[in-house]
Amino acid sequence: MIVIEKNPKKDVYKALIDMAIDVCDEFQIILRKDMGPITTFDPVMKRLEHSFKEMKEESEWASTILGDNQTAYVHYFHADENARHALKDLSNSLYGWVYPDLPEDLSFFLSGKEWLVTSSHEKESYIHTENPIEIAKISGIKGLKFHIETE
Mean pLDDT of 93-100: 95
What φ, ψ does residue 128 adopt, rounded to 5°? Answer: -100, 100
User: Of the candidates 74, 75, 72, which has an alpha carbon nearest to the alpha carbon of residue 33?
Assistant: 72
pTM of the model: 0.94
144, pLDDT greater than 90: yes
User: Of the candidates 54, 14, 26, 36, which has an alpha carbon nearest to the alpha carbon of residue 141?
Assistant: 14
pLDDT for the residue 151? 66
- Residue 31: what residue type? L
pLDDT in tens, 39-91: 888 999 999 999 999 999 998 888 888 888 889 999 999 999 999 999 999 99
For 13, half-sphere exposure in the C-beta direction (CA atoms, 13 angstrom radius) is 20
Domain extent listing, the chain: 2-148
Query: Is the CB of residue 142 less than 8 Å from the CB of residue 12?
Result: yes
97, pLDDT greater than 80: yes
108, pLDDT greater than 70: yes
pLDDT for the residue 110? 97
Mean pLDDT of 106-125: 96
pLDDT for the residue 65? 82
